[in-house]
Structure 1
Amino acid sequence: MEPLEPGVARLLAHNPSPFTYFGTQTYLVGDDELVVIDPGPELDEHVAAIVEAVDGRNVAAISCTHTHRDHSPASRALQQATGAPIIGCAPLVLESIGPRADASFDKQYVPDRVLADGETIEFDGGKKLTAVATPGHTSNHLCFAFNDALFTGDHVMGWSTTVVVPPDGDMAAYMRSMDLLRQRGDRLYYPAHGPAVTKPAQLVRGMIGHRMQRERQILKLVGQRPRDIPDIVAHAYPGLDQRLVPAAGGSVYAHLLDLQQRGLVEAGEGETWTRIAQPD
């Protein structure tokens, strides 16, 4: 267990991958009474490490930001070990396009209480953890605010951009959620993967700009000629690790669906996409 600041500590699950960086980070929030955020994958050694870190203290809640399988499955074993309720995101069992082994949805997740935006968990003598609804990466994604820090799950990570893959991932929702975070003014982000984000406003502005740049790039490519998604990925992501190509294709598809809803592109024959000419 690694203490990060008063009332916040972190444990790292041993599930490294191109999508999880060094692994999923589980956070313990509180002093005498705890909330465990993102208990992680179903790994006995990680659950044992959490129980050891809890060290007999009461666990007020086990809270999951979303239900990809690198985040929520350990909630069940941890609940058995501690008796704590599972309080957080809603259940969701949709599959993404080209699901990856470490992040398809946890179909066995059953929360005792689902938090809506702005609802809180009270614990440890008056401390509060507040749900911040941030759909986009998944429709059920929550961040959790604690004082002036925000636990961002997979919505914002300092080491990588977030994967947004339909049918559940939604680019328009993701951009709205990013704008919400841009307006919040949190001091610090604690993501589920990678280091703490010490300049969150600057990072969020950069990520919004990155997505807008990617959108312009896609519009330019489909404006040149009809293109399918693999063709767009090949031109938009030169030299990409082949293990990440399906995820890139999913994000491109999410952009295309958003652009289609805004009347800027249309789907054509052979799974190609074309830019719609705009009036002067």
Structure 2
Amino acid sequence: MAGPPPKPWPTGKAERPEPLVRRLLAPNPSPYTYTGTQTYIVGDTGPVAVIDPGPDDDAHIASILAALDGAEVAAIMCTHTHRDHSPGARPLAAATGAPVVGCAPLALDQDVLDAWGPRADAAFDSGYAPDRVMEDGEAMTGTGWTLRAVHTPGHTSNHLCFALEETGALFTGDHVMGWSTSVVVPPDGDMGEYMGSLERLHAREDRVYYPAHGPAIDKPRQLVRGMIGHRRQRENQILRLLGDAPLAAADFVSRMYKGLDPRLHGAAEMSVTAHLLDLERRGLVGRSGDIWQTA
């Protein structure tokens, strides 16, 4: 996990990493968001798309509108519904009249909520209501651009990436980030699906990734290959530790994440839990109450 770059950060300023793409940083830095959420505007002179409008923050929405400079917005597109990604869709839609399209709303049934506690959906935008849900392979188009949805569940069940077909860029949301591995938090996050989605991206030939957090990734297949290897190492580490003694999920954190920011211990425990649930599904581990052991 990389530390943030020195300040000042370009919060609220439109940067142009390539001719069809502008990028704006929201003022919501944190241990989970790095320097903040990055909103992307795709398109130049004609109708444009806005990807991941970010939090419902007046200053950020004003920055997006200023960068648009009166341009028509064909679509406001959300990769997933974490609260640092989609809530800005509502005020931006009200200001521009554009439809909200992209990922589906979160759907956790009551049995799941009861099993994991009343705050199992706390990190999600409960007010997200898209005008259109994009299916895998479906496209939005505008003047000189085509954005095609790539279904990448795992970080969340409803996560999409968007491929800009004209330039070979992929907007990866939180599935692949430029500063850290993505956190997979059950019950909605699923490690098996996350690994499958990484394999799917590795099979593609995208030129560059634009993540919602951190710098652009100019060697995407190399990074994804490393991420897959990293997750397999974590999996093997869990199995080795369980070979020594049964453990609760929280017991793994100090053994596996040396020097981790204490504010991220909860996230690390959730990622370990996601690995354990995947290993359990594959018949490699079992549990008795909160204690896990090898099968």
TM-score (norm 1): 0.94
Which residue of the partner structure matches residue 34 of structure 1? Answer: 48
Cα distance in 2 for residues equivalent to 1:97 and 1:249: 16
1:69-218 matches, cutoff 5 A: 69-92=83-106, 94=108, 104-124=123-143, 127-147=145-165, 148-218=168-238
C-alpha contact (below 8 Å) 2:120/2:187 kept by paired residues: no
Report how many residues are paired: 273
Quick one: which of 265, 273, 281 aligns to 1:253? Answer: 273
C-alpha contact (below 8 Å) 1:62/1:85 kept by paired residues: yes
C-alpha contact (below 8 Å) 2:79/2:173 kept by paired residues: yes
Which residue of the partner structure matches residue 9 of structure 2? Answer: none
SS in 2 for 1:162: coil
Return 5+ residue gaps in structure 1 as ranges.
none
Which residue of the partner structure matches residue 16 of structure 1? Answer: 29
Which residue of the partner structure matches residue 5 of structure 2? Answer: none
| Shift, 1:200, TM fit | 0.3
| Shift, 1:25, TM fit | 0.2
Which residue of the partner structure matches residue 64 of structure 1? Answer: 78
SS in 2 for 1:243: helix
Cα distance in 2 for residues equivalent to 1:234 and 1:274: 18
Task: Flag the 1:15–1:68 CA change in 2: closer, same or farther, 3 A.
Answer: same
Cα distance in 1 for residues equivalent to 2:221 and 2:190: 22
Cα distance in 1 for residues equivalent to 2:86 and 2:140: 18
Which residue of the partner structure matches residue 10 of structure 2? Answer: none
Which residue of the partner structure matches residue 6 of structure 2? Answer: none
Q: Render the CA deviation track for 1:191-243: whole Å, top value 9, x for unaligned.
A: 00000001001100000000000000000111111100111111111221111
TM-score (norm 2): 0.90
Which residue of the partner structure matches residue 8 of structure 2? Answer: none
Q: Which runs of 4+ in 1 moved over 2 A?
A: 93-101
- Identical aligned pairs, as a percentage? 62
Task: Flag the 1:220–1:98 CA change in 2: closer, same or farther, 3 A.
Answer: farther
Return 5+ residue gaps in structure 2 as ranges.
1-13
| Shift, 1:97, TM fit | 7.7
Cα distance in 1 for residues equivalent to 2:211 and 2:61: 19
Quick one: which of 20, 25, 43 aligns to 1:7? Answer: 20
| Shift, 1:154, TM fit | 0.1
1:38-49 matches, cutoff 5 A: 38-49=52-63
